Structure formats: structure tokens, C-alpha cells
Amino acid sequence: MSTLEILEFPDPRLRKKALPIANVTAKEYDLASRMLAAMYKAPGIGLAATQVNIHKRLIVCDVSENQDNPLILINPVIRESYGCTESQEGCLSIPGFYETITRSSEILIDTIDQHGKPISKEANGTLAICIQHEIDHLEGKLFVDYLSSTKRQLIRKKLLKIQQMKD
Ligand code: NI
């Protein structure tokens, strides 16, 4: 099984809006386990299907210290959000850059879990931040969109330079 390739900013495919998954099948679980493998390998704490060029509403994350508590969220929707919190965020699609981003500190989401069951789930702390970041990906949104355009352009330029060197 080949490792999924993670798209990097400013790849325009990262801007596509993902579609809801109508039926959760073995295909979705296969995708989720491949995404988890790519996420752990990177290593990272979250990955959205958009980042591997699959435009379906599926995210995976694991914010546990030992990276042994994977979460698979299908069609996640934020129903309620409370408070606000600032933290340093990074992104596997924006390697090497970390910026302070403001998010809701607590969220309530509706989602389908890894067993195909619709559930509501509360999240706070790093998990809440991670889920908000990943749901943004499904909307084609990246953490650099919260920065000034000058800062975003600077990151874009630097990443393009690195990408050109790799080609
Ligand atoms: Ni990201």
C-alpha cells in the first residue's frame, strides 16, 4: 500500500470544497486508515481528506501524547462553539510554518464515528482546535487565511521556492 501524498500550499486542489459522504462503506474506512498512516508518518495530529486530494468530508486526528488514540470523523459539523483560545498552529500542507491562530475553545459537533454511528461529541483543548482546523480544510480553507495577506504571500513565496528545489 503506497503512502498517500499530502498536497502542499499553494496547490489549488487544497481550495476545493469537500462533499458529504452519503454512504459510509469499507472504502471510507480504507481511506481513513491510509490517512491515519500518512498522518502518523508525517508526523502530525490531524489530516483532512482534502489534503490527500480526496474531496470527501472525512477527517482523522489523534491528539494523544502517545499517538495511540485515533479518531475518525465523517461529515463533521460544528453545531455549537464557545469561548476563544489562541494557539500556535501548523499544518502538514504548510510544512515548517507555525502561526498563532484564534479559535473557539470548546465545540459541539455532530458527526459519524468510526463505527458508522451518528453521534454528537464535545471537544475542548487541542482536540477542539484540531477539529476546527481540519473542518476548515474540508471548506478549502487553510490557517494562512487567518493571517494578513502580506504574511500569507510571504509563506506562499517561501514554500514555492522550496517546492521548486524539490522538483
Ligand atoms: Ni492542516
Please report, for the chain, the start and end positions of each structural domain, with discontinuous segments joined by +.
Answer: 12-166
pLDDT digits (tens, 9 = 90+) for 70-118: 999 999 999 999 999 999 999 999 999 999 999 999 999 999 998 889 9
Cβ of 86: how many Cβ atoms within 10 Å? Answer: 11
Catalogue the long-range contacts made by 116-124 (C-beta closer than 8 Å, 24 or more residues apart). Answer: 116/24, 116/74, 120/79
Q: How far apart are CA 109 and CA 122, in angstroms?
A: 6
Taking the centre of ligand 1 as the mean of its atom positions, its distance from the CA of residue 47, in whole angstroms, is 6
Taking the centre of ligand 1 as the mean of its atom positions, its distance from the CA of residue 119, in whole angstroms, is 24
Taking the centre of ligand 1 as the mean of its atom positions, its distance from the CA of residue 118, in whole angstroms, is 24
pLDDT for 60 beyond 90: yes
Confidence of residue 135 (pLDDT cuts 50, 70, 90): very high
Instruction: Identify whether 134 is a catalytic site residue.
Output: yes
Quote the pLDDT of residue 167.
77
Q: How far apart are CA 163 and CA 58, in angstroms?
A: 27
pLDDT for 40 beyond 90: yes
Confidence of residue 3 (pLDDT cuts 50, 70, 90): confident
pLDDT average, residue stretch 124-134: 98
Taking the centre of ligand 1 as the mean of its atom positions, its distance from the CA of residue 146, in whole angstroms, is 13
Catalytic residue among 8, 28, 89, 134: 134
pLDDT average, residue stretch 56-74: 97
Taking the centre of ligand 1 as the mean of its atom positions, its distance from the CA of residue 4, in whole angstroms, is 15
pLDDT for 166 beyond 90: no
Average pLDDT, the chain: 96
Cβ-proximal residues to 146 (8 Å cutoff; 6+ apart), any chain: 99, 101, 102
Distances (CA, A) of 143 to 15, 91, 92, 97, 148: 12, 8, 11, 10, 11
pLDDT for 1 beyond 80: no
Q: What is the CATH number of domain 12-166?
A: 3.90.45.10
Half-sphere exposure of 57 (CA within 13 A, CB side): 19
Q: How far apart are CA 145 and CA 54, in angstroms?
A: 21
Q: Higher confidence at residue 66 or residue 115?
A: 66
Quote the pLDDT of residue 144.
98
> In the numeric block, which cell numbers belong to residue 167?
522538483
Q: Are 61 and 134 in contact (CB under 8 A)?
A: yes
**Cα 126-131-134 angle, rounded to 5 deg:** 125
pLDDT digits (tens, 9 = 90+) for 17-31: 999 999 999 999 999
Quote the pLDDT of residue 57.
98
